[in-house]
A and B are shown apart, each in its own frame.
Chain A
């Protein structure tokens, strides 16, 4: 059974640019959530997708957007990057929308200069 995978592992962007991060859910999981983890902090919920629809959003501005595809993979897009967007971005999948258990990928380390 393949776990949650994310790409790329690391990337460096310049302030004002746009970035797309990708996530493949664990096999059989139809729900995906994204989290931002700043250095030395706990992860903060960005949003969740279920059946290709956004199913809840944390306290993040609209320049953070997402997509979920029919195969349950997902993208996180961030426009107009700011220095404070530098963080580890974690994707987590769940077997179904009502499940409390989330399985995390290794994350993408984004650095904005």
Chain B
């Protein structure tokens, strides 16, 4: 079945540091890939997406590139801020059925210190 593996957290960085959160996936077919962010006490917000190989998703300074050859979708940001502190989830869509259910990783908590 489909699965997503994320690096374990928490990831603790100082403000303006470079961020990488690793994500790899297993899927049949060609899934779409997503990063969602969850701030404390809130639901999930779509951060960025990529729907085919070599696509780069970007939003709010975050980027991730769909790498089919390595089945990866690592999240990066050049300079993190305290306000980026949250839990980040990598997810993929269900490529083989009519429904668009999402399969999520277990999440990576990011803590940014001033």
Q: Is the CB of A107 within 8 A of B98?
A: no
Bound: A92/B99 CA distance, A: 13
Any B CB within 8 A of the CB of A40: yes
Bound: A43/B100 CA distance, A: 14
Q: How far is the CB of A106 from chain B (nearest CB, A)?
A: 4
Binding site for B on A (CB under 8 A): 4, 31, 33, 35, 40-45, 48, 55-56, 58, 90, 92, 94, 97-107
Any A CB within 8 A of the CB of B29: no
Bound: A102/B49 CA distance, A: 11
Residues of A within 8 A of B91 (CB): 42
List B85-114 residues whose CB lies under 8 Å from chain A. Answer: 89, 91, 93-94, 97-107
Q: How far is the CB of A89 from chain B (nearest CB, A)?
A: 11
Q: Is the CB of A43 within 8 A of B98?
A: no
Residues of B within 8 A of A107 (CB): 43
Contact for A56 among B42, B44, B101, B103, CB less than 8 A: B101
Residues of B within 8 A of A104 (CB): 36, 43-45
Any A CB within 8 A of the CB of B51: yes
Residues of A within 8 A of B106 (CB): 40-42
Bound: A97/B99 CA distance, A: 7
A-B contact count (CB 8 A): 67
Any A CB within 8 A of the CB of B22: no
Q: How far is the CB of B28 from chain A (nearest CB, A)?
A: 16
Q: Is the CB of B43 within 8 A of A44?
A: no
Chain B, residue nearest A59 (CB): B1
Residues A48 and B99 in contact in the complex (CB < 8 Å), given A4-B43, A90-B44 = yes
Bound: A75/B4 CA distance, A: 28
Chain A, residue nearest B89 (CB): A42
Bound: A106/B41 CA distance, A: 8
Bound: A102/B101 CA distance, A: 9
Residues of B within 8 A of A48 (CB): 99-101
Residues of A within 8 A of B98 (CB): 55-56, 97
Any A CB within 8 A of the CB of B17: no
Contact for B49 among A58, A100, A103, CB less than 8 A: A100
